[in-house]
A = this chain, B = another copy of it.
Amino acid sequence: MLFLNKDAIQKIDQNSIQTAVEQAYRLVLSQNYNMPDRMHVADNQNILLLMPCFSEKFFSTKLVSVFPEAQQHGQPAVNGVMVLSDNVSGQPLAVMDGAAVTAQRTGAVGGLGVKLLTPETVRAAGVLGAGVQGLSQARYLLFNRKIKTLYIYDLYKESAINMTRVLKKEYPDVDYVITENANQLVENSSVIIAATTSSNPLFETTPDGVMGKIFISIGSFRPDMQEFPDTVIETADDVFVDTLFAAKESGDIATPLKKHVITKNKIKEFAGLLGKNTYPENRTVFFKSVGMALFDLTVSSAIYQLAVKNNIGQALDF
């Protein structure tokens, strides 16, 4: 059995991770996977999520714990442990830092959105939210497109400054601009990625303000969360989601549906874009990913296989 911590996981190249996310969407199309509803356990103010998923060769279980008060003691609120097993023999193959797997796969979902939805000529983009997920979104954005100016906004300016510092080392030629608010970021960017835990839309806008832009929402994984104002989804020519059945999990989809701002038939599965040529330009697009255990499965499988091949990680005598 292999143990892979955050550092080991970060040694896996971004292209392989993004290809693994693409593989997950292919499985959505072929329906060749088994993803039971995740188990949601509440214990006092804390939450434990158990997320199993099965493909032909592997199965994975991600354990995610959310302890809101841990931050007060200087510890991360969210922890994860990922167990990957062989789906033929049943043997456990690897234990991984689940938070690191989540960051990689979530970044790569945004990255694949950028790859399939935005023109190669895009030069100005913005990331809303400068936490772990925001950083990962920025990395996969910069991996996919030659961005000239990256706008960053976070409620806590310190977080945006930290994120800029990290990215400057990896992509020194990009101009990083920390905006004073989300509106300013949206005005200046043609691609906007949001990775926040906001319950309310992050900015106000008019249809003219969003026309022709690509919006990717990675946060809002619960019906009571919403990152983008209804104007975005209302104005959008195209709306994509991970899977149609997952759409109701996010307030960015569920709320506009409930308010009759849009109808269900406007929403399409992102997987339908695979294998398509360049996306038509000048369209307003909204892509909402709520995340799913299937991403964890294909990404952790790819990480495991590459780790074995390249001698990465710590061997465990199971």
Say yes or no for A298: interface residue by CB 8 A criterion. no
Q: Distance in Å from the Cβ of A64 to the closest Cβ of chain B? A: 10
A41 at the interface (CB under 8 A from B): yes
Report B-chain residues with C-beta under 8 Å of the C-beta of A59.
43, 48, 65
In the complex, are the beta carbons of B52 and A70 less than 8 A apart? Answer: no
Do A317 and B318 contact each other (CB < 8 Å), given the known contacts A63-B61, A81-B92, A83-B63? Answer: no
User: Residues 21-61 of chain A: 1 if any B CB is under 8 Å from the residue's CB, otherwise 0?
Assistant: 00000000000001010010101001010101010000101
Q: Which of B70, B81, B87 meets A95, CB within 8 Å?
A: B81
Q: Tell me, in angstroms, the Cα distance from A83 to B63 when the chains sit together.
A: 9
The answer, among B50, B65, B78, B317, for a CB contact under 8 Å with A5, is B317
Residues of B within 8 A of A76 (CB): 90
A316 touches B90 (CB 8 A): no
> Contacts A5-B318, A89-B67 given: A34-B43 contact, CB under 8 Å?
yes
Given the known A-B contacts A5-B316, A316-B314, are A61 and B70 also in contact in the complex, defined by CB atoms under 8 Å?
no
Residues of B within 8 A of A90 (CB): 46, 65-67, 70, 75-79
Kindly report which residue of chain B lies nearest to residue A55, judged by CB atoms.
B43
A143 within 8 A of B: no
Q: Are A54 and B63 in contact (CB under 8 A)?
A: no
Chain A 1-26 near chain B by CB (<8 Å), digits 1 or 0: 00101010000000000000000000
Interface size on A, residues (CB 8 A): 40
Whether A258 is near chain B, meaning CB under 8 Å from some CB there, is: no
Q: Kindly report which residue of chain B lies nearest to residue A37, judged by CB atoms.
A: B39
Please pick, from B7, B50, B97, the residue contacting A61 in the complex, using a CB distance under 8 A: B50
CA distance A89 to B314 in the complex (A): 25
Q: Are A316 and B3 neighbours in the complex by a CB distance under 8 Å? A: yes
| Contacting pair B317 A87 (CB below 8 A) | no
Which of chain B's residues have a CB closer than 8 A to the CB of A81?
83, 92, 95
Contact B61 A52 (CB under 8 A): no
Interface string of A70-100 (1 = CB under 8 A from B): 1001011111010101010111100101000
Distance, CA A122 to CA B16, complexed state (A):
64
Enumerate chain A interface residues (CB-CB to B < 8 A). Answer: 3, 5, 7, 34, 36, 39, 41, 43, 46, 48, 50, 52, 54, 59, 61, 63, 65-67, 70, 73, 75-79, 81, 83, 85, 87, 89-92, 95, 97, 314, 316-318
27 A–B contacts from the bound complex (CB under 8 Å): A3-B3, A5-B316, A7-B317, A36-B39, A39-B39, A39-B50, A43-B59, A46-B90, A48-B52, A48-B59, A50-B50, A59-B65, A61-B63, A65-B90, A66-B90, A73-B89, A75-B89, A76-B90, A77-B90, A79-B85, A79-B90, A81-B83, A81-B92, A83-B83, A95-B95, A314-B316, A314-B317
Q: A3-B95, A39-B52, A81-B95 are in contact. List 14 more A-B contacts (CB 8 A).
A: A3-B3, A5-B317, A36-B41, A43-B59, A48-B59, A48-B61, A50-B50, A50-B61, A65-B85, A67-B90, A77-B90, A79-B91, A97-B318, A314-B317
